[in-house]
């Protein structure tokens, strides 16, 4: 993983754990996966399995909870691994500044709030031209109304949201709550909200409803860019 990417990801998720009051105050470490194992969405064997980790992977440790480490994986996801499968190693230095940390807290906190709110509308019918979270939405109507709940005004079309709203970011910088745009030949034709772990939540096409799917699952339209709203 590139050093710059690692630092930006670590700042954001270190901030998130500060917000939830369980971070190691001064020491943020990385380490190696000792043997092939699974990672969980929460620090419990009863929690949902998030992904599989391979022996030798070097990852960032953000938090320690009982018999688990909270670690950061490349898809910007915070997952939990049992301590017996992970060896903490050297300390990562110079990963945050006083100026960057509050901004990172806001980004991660707001992004999680956006996703939690958006998930309430899974199953809502797609409606061409729709922007009503009770009767139906199209892709940009969905993103517009989700963000309206947080007093953020987005443009009506996916094309205008990409052109005007937020700031452009790269794939490696994606955090939950960021917008993902799809299109061809420079023309934006679809927008979705990034959930994390290479997934999006969106209003797909007529005949389908709001759902969570892999980030690449968008027919013939490739990803054309990413925007951060907060």
Residue with tokens 């992904």: 51
Q: CB–CB of 204/127 below 8 Å?
A: no
What global pTM score does this model have?
Answer: 0.61
Q: What is the pLDDT of residue 224?
A: 94
In this structure, the strands spanning 77-82 and 29-33 are: unpaired
Q: What is the CATH number of domain 106-228?
A: 3.90.1720.10
| Burial letters 48-71, b for 16+ CB under 10 A, else e | eebeebeeeeebbbbbbeeebbbb
Residue (of 66, 61, 53, 65) closest to 87 by Cα position: 61
User: Rounded to an integer, what distance in angstroms lies between the CA atom of residue 82 and that of residue 70?
Assistant: 9
| Radius of gyration of the chain, Cα coordinates, nearest whole angstrom | 18
CB atoms < 10 A from the CB of 161, how many? 23
Q: Which CATH superfamily is domain 3-91 in?
A: SH3 Domains (2.30.30.40)
User: Rounded to an integer, what distance in angstroms lies between the CA atom of residue 9 and that of residue 73?
Assistant: 9
Angstrom distances, CA of residue 117 to CA of 70, 155, 190: 24, 19, 20
Domain ranges of the chain: 3-91, 106-228
User: Rounded to an integer, what distance in angstroms lies between the CA atom of residue 75 and that of residue 196?
Assistant: 7
Q: What is the pLDDT of residue 105?
A: 61
3-state SS class at 163? helix
The alpha-helical segments, DSSP class H, found in 88-127 are 100-118
4 Cβ contact partners less than 8 Å away, ≥ 6 residues apart: none
Each residue's pLDDT tens digit in the chain (230 positions)?
Answer: 444 444 444 444 444 443 333 333 334 578 899 999 999 988 899 888 988 898 888 888 887 888 999 888 866 678 899 999 999 875 444 444 445 445 666 677 889 899 999 999 999 999 999 999 999 999 999 999 999 999 999 999 999 999 999 999 999 889 899 999 999 988 999 999 999 889 999 999 999 999 999 998 656 689 999 999 98
- Residue 171, φ and ψ in degrees, nearest 5: -60, -40
3-state SS class at 59? strand
Q: What is the pLDDT of residue 127?
A: 97
Q: CB–CB of 119/146 below 8 Å?
A: no
User: Rounded to an integer, what distance in angstroms lies between the CA atom of residue 1 and that of residue 93?
Assistant: 16
User: Rounded to an integer, what distance in angstroms lies between the CA atom of residue 44 and that of residue 21?
Assistant: 19
Q: What is the pLDDT of residue 218?
A: 55
CA angle 184, 215, 142 (to 5 degrees): 80
Residue (of 49, 41, 229) closest to 149 by Cα position: 229
């Amino acid at each position: 993983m590139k050093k710059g990417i690692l630092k930006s990801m670590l700042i954001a998720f270190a901030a998130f754990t500060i917000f939830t009051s369980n971070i190691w105050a001064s020491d943020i470490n990385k380490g190696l996966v000792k043997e092939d194992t699974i990672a969980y969405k929460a620090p419990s064997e009863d929690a949902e399995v998030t992904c599989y980790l391979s022996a030798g992977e070097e990852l960032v440790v953000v938090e320690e909870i009982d018999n688990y480490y909270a670690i950061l994986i490349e898809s910007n996801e915070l997952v939990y691994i049992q301590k017996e499968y992970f060896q903490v190693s050297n300390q990562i230095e110079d990963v945050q500044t006083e100026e960057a940390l509050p901004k990172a807290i806001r980004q991660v906190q707001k992004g999680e709030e956006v996703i939690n709110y958006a998930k309430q509308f899974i199953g809502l019918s797609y409606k061409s031209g729709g922007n009503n979270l009770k009767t139906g939405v199209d892709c940009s109507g969905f993103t517009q109304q989700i963000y309206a709940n947080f007093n953020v005004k987005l443009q009506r079309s996916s094309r205008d949201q990409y052109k005007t709203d937020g700031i452009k970011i790269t794939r490696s910088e994606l955090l939950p709550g960021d917008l993902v745009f799809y299109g061809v030949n420079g023309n934006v034709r679809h927008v979705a909200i990034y959930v994390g772990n290479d997934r999006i939540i969106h209003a797909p096409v007529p005949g389908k409803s709001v759902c969570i799917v892999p980030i690449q699952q968008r027919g013939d339209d490739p990803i054309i860019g990413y925007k951060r709203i907060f």
